[in-house]
Amino acid sequence: MMNSFKIFRHRLFQNWYYQIKIFRQIADWTIWLYLIIPAIVAFIVIYRSWWIEGAPTWIQWMPIELFFVAGYLFTWLGTYRTYVDGADKVFLVKKRELFYGLKKWGFRYSVLFQALSTLLTIALLLPFIIQHYQLTSIHVGSYFLFLLSIKYMIMYIKFHIKKIEGKWVRIFLTIGFFIVVSWGAQALSRLWENHSLMMMLFAVVIGSAALLLYFPLLKKNSALEAELLIENEEKQKLVNMIFQMSYDIEKTKVITRKRPWLFRNSRRIFKNRTAVNGFVELFVKVFIRNSSHIMTYFQICSVTIAAVLIIPPLWIKCIILGGFLLMMWSWLAGLWERIILSHPFTKKYQEHDAYFAARKRTITVLYVVAIIIVAIPITIGLLAFNFLGT
């Protein structure tokens, strides 16, 4: 016999299977070799060293208030999920109790999942909280309740913002709520060290209020459109993230503007009009105009910089830099082919010498620029860490 829990369980497993299937199809060997496996190994080594050898030297220059800044940013991740589907408008809406039961199970799962994710985040910070700052378990518990209660309240606010149709209105309201809620979070953070029990009381009140405010919305069919929008976004979140990581299936951003922000009048970049310069100019204009290309370029650089500066073992730093060199070159080569060979007019010239000359010149220049972008911050950061360490 069909009941609400069986429907919820089926959709939950179906969602897990979908995410795993997408990940297995998209995460090619370069992602596993240069990102996933090194990240897992580095995390285990670093986390173990924090407990055994102590916190890194750079933590000494960080005030404890930064934990609340990082924690507050974390609270904006996640949302209440109900696991509804578009077909529910036709079938389950007519069976109110079954539909309401499905949404309740989704709500309970969301509450539990966010609590576990917050607990995991706290566990990652325990070496700093306990080993370095010498705080007690009461401080850890109050920090956990603080993050979780703020997260529940923000999830409630985000749900109401989703129901607003105007895009710019949603953006301005999100920014406004982000600032306002941050003021409240800062006020609560001042109670952490000396009044942890009072902070725990405020956190319980805020978290309970957020849950009690959202729970009645489960019965309202008027919230179905917002719930469907949230489900679609959550379902595609992992896919979009992996699309940015894998150059083979990178999801190009569709530009709907009639005129681009840069090169609006399509002026010539090179005065000398040759076939090689023509290919280079075409690639450069497309590369700069499409934000997804240039953002991925800087993401690869920024992730490499952060990983090299944070991870202490020298051998892991070398592996990351080697992976960066291979990944950046292969990504640029794949991007060149997607941009230049995407149009039939340019595709028919792919066997010409000018095509290969332009390809080599463009990829080499962007490759060298990427190395410089990575090398300068890493050099400055390592020198600064050595100076502070001494």
Q: How confident is the model at residue 345 (pLDDT cuts 50, 70, 90)?
A: low
What secondary structure does DSSP assign to 142-211, as a single string? HHHHHHHHHHHHHHHHHHHHHT---HHHHHHHHHHHHHHHHHHHHHHHTTTTT-HHHHHHHHHHHHHHHH
**Chain centroid offset of residue 155 CA:** 17
Q: What is the structure's pLDDT at 369?
A: 93
| Predicted pLDDT at 93 | 63
Task: Identify the CA nearest to 64 among candidates 197, 192, 151, 183.
Answer: 192
The angle that helices 167-189 and 66-75 make with each other, rounded to 10 degrees, is 140
Q: Which amino acid does the sequence have at 332?
A: L
Residues 371-378 have a mean pLDDT of: 91
Taking 50 as the threshold, does the pLDDT of residue 269 lie above it?
A: yes
Contact between residue 342 and residue 286 where contact means Cβ atoms under 8 Å apart: no
Contact 250, 244 (CB under 8 A): yes
Q: Which of the listed ranges 1-5, 12-16, 364-368 does the model predict with the highest average pLDDT?
A: 364-368
Mean pLDDT of 117-122: 90
Extract the tokens encoding 147. 């993050």
Residue 116: band (very low, low, confident or very high) from pLDDT cuts 50, 70, 90:
very high
Average pLDDT score over residue span 316-340: 84
Of 204-208, 330-334, 342-346, 373-377, the poorest mean pLDDT is in 342-346
- pLDDT tens per residue, range 135-178: 778 888 888 998 899 999 999 998 888 888 777 888 888 888 88
When pLDDT is cut at 50, 70 and 90, the band that residue 208 belongs to is: very high
Q: For residue 258, with 0-12 CB atoms within 10 Å meaning exposed, 13-18 middle and 19 or more buried, which class applies?
A: exposed
pLDDT at 249: 47
- Answer for the pair 361, 280: CB distance below 8 angstroms, yes or no: yes
The SS3 of residue 91 is: coil
Per-residue pLDDT of 24-75, as tens digits, reads 766 665 666 666 777 777 778 878 877 777 766 666 666 666 677 778 888 8
CA 377 to chain centre: 22
Mean predicted lDDT score pLDDT of the chain: 78
SS3 assignment, position 313 = coil
Identify which of 347, 258, 342, 331 has the alpha carbon closest to the alpha carbon of residue 295: 331
Tell me which of 269 and 301 has the higher pLDDT. Answer: 301
Contact 317, 311 (CB under 8 A): yes
Looking at residue 390, what is its pLDDT? 44
Mean pLDDT value of segment 329-351? 76
Q: Say how far apart CA 131 and CA 55 lie, in whole Å.
A: 7
pLDDT band at 115 (very low <50, low <70, confident <90, very high): very high
